[in-house]
Structure 1
Amino acid sequence: IVHEGYCCDECQTEVDFITGFRWKCSICPEYDLCNICYMSNKHDLSHKFQRIVVPNSRENMNKSREESRRIKSNGIFKGATVVAIADEREEKKGTVLAIVDYMIDSGRSDVSVDWRDGTDSSNRILELSYDYGGTFYYYHDHLPVLGRESRGYIQVNFGFDKGPTKKIKVNIWHTVQQIKKLTFKPSLYLIFANHTEVDKKDEKMTLLDEVIEFAKKSKLPCHVVGQKVLFHSGSSNTVFIHCNTDKDTVKELVKKGFRNFERGDIDQTREDEIHYFIRMAKYVIGEAVLPVIISFRNGGMKSDVMPSAADSQIPIIRIKVMFLSRN
């Protein structure tokens, strides 16, 4: 990740922007450190920082570095001596010059090595064996935890055409490796789908009101297709949104008192709206869900619903009346 427009105030690298983690001082205005400088004890150790994994998202550190333990680590870092694993002719040693940028084809960063035979190359880390050197210090409790979702946030001053500005908080969820937990009692997960041809703005908002009230009473996760929102745990303050949730929907939710907006990462070429929200529901509930589509006016037959239902064998229940409060 490249943080465009932000350079390390310690390295003074005015040409290259910060890559990887960006650390922003919570006390000093407009002061940022790259990960190497942060872990190397640059700047005031008593100051707390914000960890910024991707642009426009941030996490507050509960402790300063002065209050935390710094751990020594040896490995394949800059300056380390490594051995080429694949070279069966003789032991080929070299010195790590740098850990280069994330490679799209491999999904990992590559390692640039200066070999003792006078050559240099870019290698995948699994092609190398650590020999010695390459000392690196880090603060263990300042790094994201593997096996849990890593979250950051942005604060937004959300303005209306008339009236005061409201401050909302958008939490950003990033996918990391998780240990799968088996469950024998999945939670019911409702997907509400109305038909686009009769789904006018007023009726959209009425259905939204109905689903909000139903979700509060039932405490079931409820996803409204098209408006791209997910209500969960009966919360009247927190809601999951999609990267394509429209501004009018967010504005209505702010009017109704919602202030915390959760949003996950998504590859729209591989994951549709329904499967995205199912994944978000699993995150927040912590167990598997049993999805069921509630179809109003044949909304379950829509092109953005039917393929997902067929692909994942999601049952569709057809409701003739429009609103949940009617008998």
Structure 2
Amino acid sequence: MLEVGIRVVRGPDWKWGPQDDGEGHVGTVVELGRPGSATSPDKTVVVQWDSGAKTNYRVGYQGAYDLRVVDNAPIGVKHPNIICDGCKRQGIAGMRWKCTRCEDYDLCTICYMADVHDVNHVFQRFETANSVGEEMPPRIDGAKIQLRGIFVGAKVMRGPDWDWGNQDGGEGKTGRVIDIRGWDNESGRSVANVTWTGSGFTNVYRLGHKGKVDLKYVQASFGGFYYRDHLPVLGK
């Protein structure tokens, strides 16, 4: 599962200090490694962190894995016929989590990480609609990390892929994220709805859709929690 648009956090072989602005901060895969390139060799990816920093990371290069997948909904992963038994939404976007103890009980990532359902129960993680389920340990024993970045409430400004003129009121102007949503049926949780402070103008901006990132945060916001060892390692 190596595609531009995947949302990531630091992984098991991370050794890069605060390049991501700290554990739990989120970024977007914006470029895949190019075989034979000295700056971006095969088995690496380029990540645009929500803070605005942008760097290469290993996804199998020299046997190291720097990243975990926190959300693959922005690349269009969906389980169209599965209802989340937590939030009751039809068609789970991103990874699906299935209880192995209860009959026909599934959760989306947001509900799973929010401890919906019995945390002593073992779940299987399905990364895509066609993947084989991988059994996870009970959440009650897991290391829980706070998720931070461009979520509802974040203070943002134009970022690296900005292509929208002065919708934000001009260079250096800021706004607030009021919603994170999908782009029609193409991708999920892939755009941020922003209201710009000076003008009051509101529009949606790319946050992983087709691997583009229009924003960076001035002040990160809280996006819930995740269980570190329950997330798939990018590239494995």
| Structure with the bigger percentage of helix | 1
1:58 Cα deviation (Å)? Answer: 2.9
The letter of the residue matching 1:34 is: C
Residue aligning to 1:10: 86
Distance in 2 between the 1:114 and 1:58 partners? 41
Distance in 1 between the 2:178 and 2:97 partners? 25
Task: Tell me if structure 2 keeps the 8 A contact 1:97–1:114.
Answer: no
Question: Structure 1 residue 100 and structure 2 residue 188: aligned?
Answer: no
Residue aligning to 2:235: 147
Q: TM-score, normalised by structure 1?
A: 0.40
Task: Tell me if structure 2 keeps the 8 A contact 1:100–1:112.
Answer: no
| Structure with the bigger percentage of strand | 2
Task: Tell me if structure 2 keeps the 8 A contact 1:84–1:93.
Answer: no
Residue aligning to 1:122: 204
Residue aligning to 1:48: 122
Distance in 2 between the 1:96 and 1:143 partners? 26
Higher CA-based Rg = 1
Residue aligning to 2:57: none
Distance in 2 between the 1:76 and 1:38 partners? 20
Task: Tell me if structure 2 keeps the 8 A contact 1:81–1:134.
Answer: no
Distance in 2 between the 1:76 and 1:100 partners? 14
Would you say how many aligned residue pairs link Structure 1 and Structure 2? 144
Q: Runs of 5+ in structure 1 lacking a partner?
A: 149-327
Deviations 1:12-64 (A, max 9, x none): 23xx3211111110110000111100011111001111111221423322411
1:102 Cα deviation (Å)? Answer: 8.5
Superposed counterparts of 1:86-97, under 5 Å: 88-97=170-179
Task: Tell me if structure 2 keeps the 8 A contact 1:102–1:109.
Answer: no
Task: Tell me if structure 2 keeps the 8 A contact 1:61–1:142.
Answer: no
- Report 1 or 2 for greater relative contact order, CA contacts < 8 Å, sequence distance ≥ 6: 2
Deviations 1:166-214 (A, max 9, x none): xxxxxxxxxxxxxxxxxxxxxxxxxxxxxxxxxxxxxxxxxxxxxxxxx
The letter of the residue matching 1:91 is: K
Residue aligning to 2:108: 34
Task: Tell me if structure 1 keeps the 8 A contact 2:154–2:177.
Answer: yes
Distance in 2 between the 1:58 and 1:115 partners? 43
SS at match of 1:95: strand
Distance in 2 between the 1:114 and 1:61 partners? 41
Q: CA RMSD in A?
A: 2.5
1:5 Cα deviation (Å)? Answer: 1.8
Change (3 A) 1:2 1:101: farther
Deviations 1:206-240 (A, max 9, x none): xxxxxxxxxxxxxxxxxxxxxxxxxxxxxxxxxxx
Distance in 2 between the 1:35 and 1:94 partners? 24
Alignment counterpart, residue 20 of structure 1, candidates 75, 88, 94 = 94
Task: Tell me if structure 2 keeps the 8 A contact 1:103–1:109.
Answer: no
Distance in 1 between the 2:122 and 2:229 partners? 13
Distance in 1 between the 2:183 and 2:229 partners? 25
